[in-house]
Amino acid sequence: MADTSFDVVVIGSGPGGYVTAIRAAQLGFKTAIVEKAYLGGICNNWGCIPTKALLRSAEIYHYMKHAKDYGLSADNVSFDPKAVIARSRGVVKRLNGGVEYLMNKNKITIIWGEATLDGSGKFTVKKTEAAAPKGALGEGAYTAKHIIVATGARPRVLPGLEPDKKLVWTYFEAMNPDKMPKSLLVVGSGAIGIEFASFYRTMGAEVTVVEVLPQILPVEDAEIAAVARKQFEKQGMKVLANTKVTKLDKKADSVVATIDDGKKPVTLEVDRVISAVGVVGNIEGFGLEKLGVKTDRGCIVIDGYGKTNVPGIYAIGDVAGPPMLAHKAEHEGVICVEAIKGLHPHPMDKLLIPGCTYCHPQIASVGLTEAKAKEAGKDVRVGRFPFVGNGKAIAQGEDQGMVKVIFDKKTGQLLGAHMVGHEVTELIQGFVVAMNLETTEEELFHTIFPHPTISETMKEAVLDAYGRVLNM
């Protein structure tokens, strides 16, 4: 008979869940992971990875259309939407196999089905539709000393803007459309909304983005968001901030949206709408309420080590609150099991979690924005460097972008770094490491950046903050 008792069980196999399970197994815990739908969670199946595959197709299509700029010719450039989507789904399949391999390699038991918490250390699993991986356990009653909830999140639904899967999409349908829309309204300009807006615009759709707040990409530094907005508008995207979508009237194959900027409501007819107004944690229906696990605004309340208010129950990832990002979920999970093991890890420091948006141009940031630093009472020094001053960016035909850094004037500590431009999502990690090491301006002055690279804009921005910029 299969063993049904474990030291650690993780509920949900998203990036948070499966990484947590691996670290638990590495630490010598007898570990199981429960999954009801797809290995790899939202990130691998409907989030981070398939969007990046779509955006890569869009990027190559963009370059092909601009071949002349590089002295090349590519005539009659076109695309096959089905093939673009098939490539993205193929990437997903490959990664599902990767997660299964990692579970087996680390001797983690996969339990296939939907978990419900029954009481201290006890849970049951019931069968779901999704096909189980080979060798997975299934329906039944199980026990575990430590239960880590990593059930993720789902799209937020606003009244009047309810998705219907056909005309009004969430990220699920936007990732796998039945046909390419000619016109599209994206409600919400966070990372998810902007990535889809960027993909569909590059592929030729007329795209309107509506954001209720005064700034698009609301969590980003205002100056960076303004540069990004200008680039989006140059590409033909319509961007409306400080504006609400108040009503969606569905026709047979289109939607008439009422859009209100507070002055005069107007209507806009589009083929499809993407509702990208945020996500909410999956906290209902699997026993949290019965156990008395504390929640707040749709998420489980935890301390810096993933502990909930109920002994033996932990939570990590999207279900444990913002920022709802895969790397935050992974790190939170590692901290959680290391603390269970008694290893004294550092608690999660949310200021050190980078954020990336993979639109064209890309956006990346870590730490405080200029506004937040000032709100926190800091006296700041700000440095900026535009991509037009960087040889590699010009050589690559990608001279639109900038890096902005915020230092504490008194101590020289790097408080935040913000970027917009080509491949900045690959660059930000330099500043993340620097901030993690509590770097000051002096150490960055002494750091040698390779030439020619776009990373030199990072050094120049630092120099600019201290009146020492070289190439501008």
Ligand X SMILES: Cc1cc2nc3c(=O)[nH]c(=O)nc-3n(C[C@H](O)[C@H](O)[C@H](O)COP(=O)(O)OP(=O)(O)OC[C@H]3O[C@@H](n4cnc5c(N)ncnc54)[C@H](O)[C@@H]3O)c2cc1C
Beta bridge partners of 249: 256
Of 344, 360, 422, 451, the active-site residue reads 451
CB atoms within 10 A of CB 346: 11
The residue among 116, 113, 151, 115 whose CA lies nearest residue 130 is 113
How far apart are alpha carbons 108 and 389 in whole angstroms? 51
Q: Would you say 15 or 386 has its CB closer to ligand X?
A: 15
The residue among 96, 136, 91, 90 whose CA lies nearest residue 112 is 136
Least Å distance, CB 15 to ligand X, is 5
Contact between 36 and ligand X (CB under 6 A)? Answer: yes
Contact between 16 and ligand X (CB under 6 A)? Answer: yes
Q: Count interface residues toward ligand X (CB under 6 A).
A: 37
Helices first, then strands: H and E counts in the chain: 14, 24
Stretch binding ligand X (CB under 6 A), from 14-22, 94-102, 340-348, 405-413: 14-22
Stretch binding ligand X (CB under 6 A), from 47-55, 208-216, 243-251, 409-417: 47-55
Q: Given the structure tokens 């309204």, which residue do they identify?
A: 185
Considering only 8, 55, 192, 257, the residue that binds ligand X (CB under 6 A) is 192
Beta bridge partners of 34: 11, 111
Contacts of 284 (CB under 8 A, 6+ apart): none
Stretch binding ligand X (CB under 6 A), from 82-90, 135-143, 146-154, 448-456: 146-154
Beta strands in 167-322 (DSSP E): 168-169, 183-187, 206-210, 238-240, 244-250, 255-260, 266-270, 272-275, 279-281, 295-296, 299-300, 313-315
Least Å distance, CB 49 to ligand X, is 8
> In this structure, which amino acid lies at residue 390?
N
Contact between 35 and ligand X (CB under 6 A)? Answer: yes
Considering only 14, 306, 361, 389, the residue that binds ligand X (CB under 6 A) is 14
238-240/206-210 β-pairing: parallel
Least Å distance, CB 48 to ligand X, is 4
The residue among 124, 119, 142 whose CA lies nearest residue 290 is 119
The residue among 126, 128, 151 whose CA lies nearest residue 282 is 151
Considering only 8, 10, 42, 462, the residue that binds ligand X (CB under 6 A) is 42
Stretch binding ligand X (CB under 6 A), from 30-38, 102-110, 334-342, 375-383: 30-38
Q: Given the structure tokens 């570990």, which residue do they identify?
A: 31
Binding mask 347-366 for ligand X (x = CB under 6 A): -----------x--------
Q: Would you say 38 or 466 has its CB closer to ligand X?
A: 38
Stretch binding ligand X (CB under 6 A), from 6-14, 81-89, 206-214, 438-446: 6-14
Q: Is-catalytic flag, 360?
A: no
Contact between 150 and ligand X (CB under 6 A)? Answer: yes
Contact between 12 and ligand X (CB under 6 A)? Answer: yes
Contacts of 37 (CB under 8 A, 6+ apart): 45, 128, 130
Q: Are the CB atoms for 289 and 6 separated by under 8 Å?
A: no
Considering only 7, 8, 15, 189, the residue that binds ligand X (CB under 6 A) is 15
How far apart are alpha carbons 415 and 400 in whole angstroms? 24
How far apart are alpha carbons 419 and 95 in whole angstroms? 29
How far apart are alpha carbons 447 and 426 in whole angstroms? 18
Binding mask 311-350 for ligand X (x = CB under 6 A): ------xx-----xxxx-x---------------------
Binding mask 227-256 for ligand X (x = CB under 6 A): ------------------------------
Least Å distance, CB 69 to ligand X, is 28
> Using CB under 6 A, which residues numbered 105 to 124 contact ligand X?
114-115
How far apart are alpha carbons 214 and 418 in whole angstroms? 19
Binding mask 373-412 for ligand X (x = CB under 6 A): ----------------------------------------
Least Å distance, CB 108 to ligand X, is 14
> Using CB under 6 A, which residues numbered 277 to 296 contact ligand X?
282, 286
Rg (CA), the chain: 23
Supply the residues annotated as catalytic.
Answer: 451
Question: Which residues bind to ligand X, rule: CB under 6 A?
Answer: 11-17, 34-38, 41-43, 46-48, 51, 114-115, 150-153, 171, 192, 282, 286, 317-318, 324-327, 329, 358
